[in-house]
Amino acid sequence: MQKVAIVTDSIACLPPELVRQYQIHIVPINLYFEDKVYKDWVDITPSEAYELFLKDPRYFASSAPSPAECLETYRAVSKQAKNILCVTVSSKLSMTYQSAQIAKEQAEVELPGVTIEVLDSGLATAAQGFVALAGARAVNEGKNLDEVVRAADEVRGKVGLGVLLDTVRYVYRSGRVPKLAAQAGSILNIRPILTVSGAVRFIGIARNKENGIARLLGRMRNKMGSSPAHIAVMHAYAPDEAENLKERISSEFNCVELWVSEFSPVMGYACGTGTLALAFYSED
């Protein structure tokens, strides 16, 4: 039996091979299209979800896992470890953290002897994924729960995220941009650059994708310099662009870790297809 198990939600954008390698347990987000419900990464891949989205974005939606769904995961994981760290997407973006906390309180009654810590990453996508990975790697080193939480929290404090939208057509659906402004931005072909620090923040605008990518790379370079870097490239239904960006990063940065994943369709609900994103942090 493991000392500690790691749980996170599917917004973390962790590739299946890393999930298997580090035995990370994923709570899927619920995706809706028309009258059907899909479990993210379980019933449907991100690419398949984006194909539904493109058919008619008006009928595409998502919701956080319920406390019952989180509790079900805790039950299953408790058979493998008596200590659990659950890393969630930012509580300012989703009810997932609240569901995980409610489930923790229920588990304290139902699963005596099991200790659960819930960590609000304050992040999303692979930035959140890196926090969960840090915890999982500490587990692999034989660390106890307190040490695993510290390892995850350390990465949480230094990981960065940059997201380049290919369109502003759908950003009004986040509730943070008026629909009229999104429509005007779409006509002007503006590409916003976002980050997540608790909530979503706009950090710049690009007139074309090439310029936007250059700004993402420049921001990453300013933060990390030539230090050994952990970098994740994400894409929303743009695999070729993501692979090209990965190759460019490999040649320009001192990467100790570099992987590609699909951008969560839960975030893509407002970002749209063609989105590219980078999550990164450096080793001190």
68 shares its domain with 142: yes
* 109 falls within a domain: yes
252 shares its domain with 183: yes
* 36 falls within a domain: no
Token pair for residue 125? 């996508």
248 shares its domain with 175: yes
* 243 falls within a domain: yes
76 shares its domain with 15: yes
Q: What pLDDT score was predicted for residue 170?
A: 58
* 52 falls within a domain: no
Q: What pLDDT score was predicted for residue 58?
A: 85
149 shares its domain with 270: no
* 16 falls within a domain: yes
Cα separation, 219 vs 215, in Å, equals 6
* Cβ–Cβ under 8 Å, residues 263 and 126: no
Q: Is the pTM of the predicted complex or chain greater than 0.85?
A: yes
Number of structural domains the chain divides into: 2
pLDDT confidence bin for 200, thresholds 50/70/90 = confident
pLDDT confidence bin for 199, thresholds 50/70/90 = confident
The pLDDT mean for the chain works out to: 91
118 shares its domain with 85: yes
Mean pLDDT, residues 118-127 = 97
145 shares its domain with 17: yes
Cα separation, 42 vs 39, in Å, equals 5
Q: Is 142 exposed, middle or buried (0-12, 13-18, 19+ CB in 10 A)?
A: exposed
> Which residues does 21 contact at the CB level (< 8 Å), separation at least 6?
none
pLDDT tens, position by position, 28-72 = 999 999 989 999 999 999 999 999 988 988 899 999 999 999 999
Domain's final residue, options 156, 172, 205: 156
What is the largest distance, in Å, between two alpha-carbon atoms of the chain? 58
CATH assignment of the domain containing 17? 3.40.50.10440
Strand ranges inside the chain, DSSP E: 5-9, 25-27, 30-33, 36-39, 60-63, 83-88, 115-120, 160-164, 191-197, 199-206, 229-235, 255-262, 276-282
* 175 falls within a domain: yes
120 shares its domain with 251: no
CATH assignment of the domain containing 222? 3.30.1180.10
pLDDT tens, position by position, 83-93 = 999 999 999 99
14 shares its domain with 149: yes
* 108 falls within a domain: yes
Give the domain extent around 110: 5-29+64-156
104 shares its domain with 15: yes
Domain's final residue, options 102, 130, 156: 156
15 shares its domain with 147: yes
145 shares its domain with 243: no
Domain's final residue, options 114, 132, 156: 156
* 41 falls within a domain: no
